Structure 1
């Protein structure tokens, strides 16, 4: 692991999308990021830098300005970090993730890396999610007493992130319920349905792995204190943690339902195969005595041909009639056995 990202000159232009706002008791105002770096934060507020998919050069100036630790900067530059909270001199570093379904049904996640200081907040985003205007609108709705603190924006960002989980989980639960209903329908229970079960199971397991660590992150933040979480904000951060916990519990239930769907599919498939085997056994049972009778009268012995079935009436009575009687008797016997079988309905199906 390198000790520091590549430093760029102070005048280096950014290649990523950087949005900068001054937030405080007077509201939010967009400014140029170079201006925000060269000017002090407002007396009753803080500065917010939002950087999307940055390069090392994009964060170099922010690292110099706010004395960001090189290890935290390196983590922010490379996506696929685990959700965590790390304390550094002058700031806290937080990693959290959001999730949503892509058009093709796969899991899409976006990563949010946050540097939270007393007079600044830097958000480094990987992937799409959390529109800026929505975040600003949410921030305007928090109590005015929070506005001067950067923890107010941290609350808004995490709250918006966790709010994404509910519709995502609702969709998973609805799809799982639909799959379980279709499983009992022979017209739908096939290999295609098995692939759907596998896909939804993989999706649920992946989402659980992404969201589960956020509980510990929020618990750590609740213990951090100012400037990360002000005392008056503790109940609200606790509410976010409860929502995240609820989502984790729902995903764990969905994971169990997805695994159970596999068991249901295989149980029903085994039952249908057993019913088919029983039907084939019934047919074989009926034809077995018929084969015996036909084989007996089909023997080419002189005594049998010349004396027993020497006439046409004898042929119809002994051969055809006896074989028909055996067939009827076998059918009645098999049906009576099926009537005593508790899986008769499955056999007839």
Structure 2
């Protein structure tokens, strides 16, 4: 579906144009066309391929989707894939995709499987004509920067979730739930990492070394995007290490809880073993047992068992076993 199609010259918007009029503007020397599509159909992609002379392989990637984040050169045209990440209705992370085609006099963005619109990027660029003069390369930076900036709230939410789980680690009886939450959090972090790490590698090619011609005038801006990605990647590494430590601590707490349970069972088993031993001795019914014919033998036997068990209980209580 077509979202926007407009022509720009010298940092200013000339007009909103129809797809049929694109060819009238892309040929002008200081003019570029900015087209935005959402969940584009094959017919729309075919039309854009014809209007901008896009490479068949790039169009095929955009048509099939589910591509790894990347930046590829096809002659004078760049093709970039950037992943969008957002929370779904059940707090699951949903991964979308923005395919961006950049040429000297055009830029085409195709947003798929994402509810996050990019209209704010166009408004921001139009309010900064001194930057928009850089042409399609600057718009490419603005789109990448907008997507990358939306990673930060996701990272903050993951950090907050990890802190909440850490606060429950030393709560007795929560070990299983903690481990489940930690592994779920680790899976989310890997989802974000799969979007960030490849894009970081690709973004480095847009500001260092041989930079594609369309990005030459915006080299320092792409370095800013790269710096943001490095920060995010470092935070993800830190979160992953913290999760590993939290899992180890949680497993240690499970071992400690099991050890305490074992000690409690052993203590009560020892107490009942003493009572059983006394009962077994006095239950032999030998004829010449000293207490067998004694009037107070039964109360004495019960009292001895109670005293012995009480002494053992107090001893185990002092040791913290019961």
TM-score of the aligned structures, taking structure 2 as reference length: 0.91
Give the counterpart of 2:246 among 261, 265, 268.
261
Contact 1:113 1:124 in 2 (8 A): yes
Consecutive unaligned residues of structure 2, counting only runs of 5 or more, are none
Within 1, Cα distance between the matches of 2:137 and 2:107?
A: 9
Bigger mean CA offset, 41-50 vs 111-120: 41-50
Contact 2:22 2:51 in 1 (8 A): no
- Matched with 1:122 is 108
Contact 1:97 1:112 in 2 (8 A): yes
Give the counterpart of 2:194 among 193, 209, 220.
209
Cα distance, 1:335 vs structure 2: 4.3
- The 3 A distance-change label for structure 1 pair 183 and 28 is farther
- Matched with 1:198 is 183
Contact 1:23 1:148 in 2 (8 A): no
Residue 236, structure 1, aligned to residue 221, structure 2? yes
Contact 2:76 2:213 in 1 (8 A): no
Cα distance, 1:50 vs structure 2: 1.3
Provide Cα deviations, 1:155-186, integer angstroms capped at 9, x if missing partner.
11011011001111000011001001111112
Consecutive unaligned residues of structure 1, counting only runs of 5 or more, are 1-15, 339-343
Provide Cα deviations, 1:91-148, integer angstroms capped at 9, x if missing partner.
1111111212212121111211111110001112212255242111221244515435
Give the counterpart of 1:79 among 41, 62, 65.
65
Contact 2:26 2:106 in 1 (8 A): no
Contact 1:150 1:227 in 2 (8 A): no
Aligned length, in residue pairs = 320
Partner secondary structure for residue 183 of structure 1: coil
Bigger mean CA offset, 324-333 vs 293-302: 324-333
Give the counterpart of 2:204 among 192, 203, 219.
219
Partner secondary structure for residue 288 of structure 2: helix
Give the counterpart of 2:308 among 326, 329, 342.
326
Contact 1:45 1:150 in 2 (8 A): no
Contact 1:117 1:227 in 2 (8 A): no
Partner secondary structure for residue 74 of structure 1: helix
- Matched with 1:99 is 85
Within 2, Cα distance between the matches of 1:196 and 1:209?
A: 20
Residue 311, structure 1, aligned to residue 294, structure 2? yes
Give the counterpart of 2:264 among 279, 297, 302.
279
Partner secondary structure for residue 172 of structure 2: coil
Partner secondary structure for residue 277 of structure 2: helix
- Matched with 1:134 is 120
Within 2, Cα distance between the matches of 1:174 and 1:149?
A: 39
TM-score of the aligned structures, taking structure 1 as reference length: 0.84
Within 2, Cα distance between the matches of 1:170 and 1:110?
A: 19
Within 2, Cα distance between the matches of 1:190 and 1:169?
A: 25
Give the counterpart of 2:237 among 231, 252, 258.
252
